[in-house]
A and B are shown apart, each in its own frame.
Chain A
Amino acid sequence: MLDLYLPIAEVSVSAPLLVVLGAVVGFISGLFGIGGGFLMTPVLVFLGIPPAVAVASEANHVAASSTSGVISYTRRRAVDFKMGAVLAAGGAVGAIVGVEIFRWLLLLGQADLVVSLSYLVFLGVIGGLMLVESVQAIVRRRSGQTTGPRRDRRPVWLYGLPLKVRFPRSRLYISVIPPIALGIFVGVLSAIMGVGGGFILVPAMVYILRMPAAVVVGTSLFQIIITTSLASLLQAGRNQTVDIVLATLLLIGGVIGAQFGARASARFRAEELRALLAIIVLAVGINMGIGLFLTPEEPFVQISGAG
């Protein structure tokens, strides 16, 4: 049959299902410039794959679909490599710190709680804010109002900080401190939540760094490749939790889906895309978080890290 036994996850799963899942998440990844880990990791856990293996192997899938997507954006000159590198440098530091925090939480037995809370809080807040903003933008446009001049009132602190660097592709001249801090923050979260962090980076680049919308998605994908490749390597090297068969099945679908996603993104308006992403982000956040408030059917849970 088409079921495959995964050598590291040590469970048997349907291979076509994984390819299709990879393709769907890859499409979303290419469309929005997010890794898609926040969607895929919960699904893999639901399929019975041990969470540690799901998180580590998913990083590999995200690296693949982001590579597939980023090349399309590069051709459209829609990647700010300099900004991406700065974000990724912060992300690498954050990921290393985050992996240590995660190990500590695992030992405490509170990893589940922190993961669920992180999903609820970050996805809820970001999804909510993005939904409100994008719906307002859509309503403004539909009601015939001119969108008005782009709000170029950048926060003072962006200009007040030292170590200013020019980012020509983004038409920015700002301190490197905010992007590095953002990278670190996203890196920590990505290690804890098992995600690439695109869902935080995309809105942060738009609303905090005020980067032009055209380069946001490509730049986000570029920085995701670097951090997820590093995360995947660290997970394999330290924890032996990357399942190469699982990752390969997911990325076969993922790289193809990402191509269609990247193409489709040109056909939508930016605010419509953001509204759609906001809804997905909110739904996943609520879904992950709601379990914290419902009386569990089974009061006992097995947690990894024994022995």
Chain B
Amino acid sequence: MASKAGPGTYIGAIILAIIFFIPLWVLILIAFEPVRFTFGRVYPSFLPLGFTLKNIITSITTPGLYLGSSLLRSLEVAFMVGGIAIFLSIFAGYGLSKLTARVSNKIIVLLFLINMMPGLIISIPVASEFDKVGLYNNIVGVALAQELVVLPLSVFIVLGGFRGLPKDLENQARVDGAPFFTSFFRIILPLNRIAIMVAFLLSWMTSWDEFTYAVIIDPIAPSNSTFPVTLYNYVSRDLALDAATFALVATVPVLILTGFLMKYLKGQYLSGGMVV
């Protein structure tokens, strides 16, 4: 559409690309450079001056740092959040897609309004209730709470997918004698798989990043917690080097996932659904 790219475009693009890349670069430098080039210097350089794997190996092998176990915990929680999200949103999305837009939009707006409430006002009472039923300091408890953050968006994404399917498909299947569940599971659901996948991955990533609910419902003591909370714990204990290597290890897989997701992120999925 817009005008051709002039030199200004390139200069702007390069400056912005540097700004967006530098923090990741700093993380890589700290993780892979010998400490004397990073924390050992008052003014560390942005240029790579050395390479070592020692930092990563030390962080992994130091006992009592919960590196592996907290990543594992985050993984379990994230998959649980994604799973519950698509389970609930497949049903909700399908049902809402059959209602008139006037009704279904009201329900979606309601879900998003609830999503606007501060995490702390919800999580503090939830934590004390969870404590009574054994869900405090428990991966299921964290997953159930984090689900609140992802549910509106994933319902909306899946609903958008169902709305995009031609209505006649389902009628056709029914005319051909397929019972409701057959037509639902063998025709409708497979056709909507991309929306469902995007909903799952976005929920997964949100859970991987989520801090507020995790720090209240699954604090670091007495056992370990998810990776953001554990990282915060490292930072507050001044374990700077371990925190950096840990952060990098936890970030790289998600970056790859983001690159993969990008194709879908550019579309309508991200606008919180509220595309006009």
On whether the two chains bind one another, the answer is: no
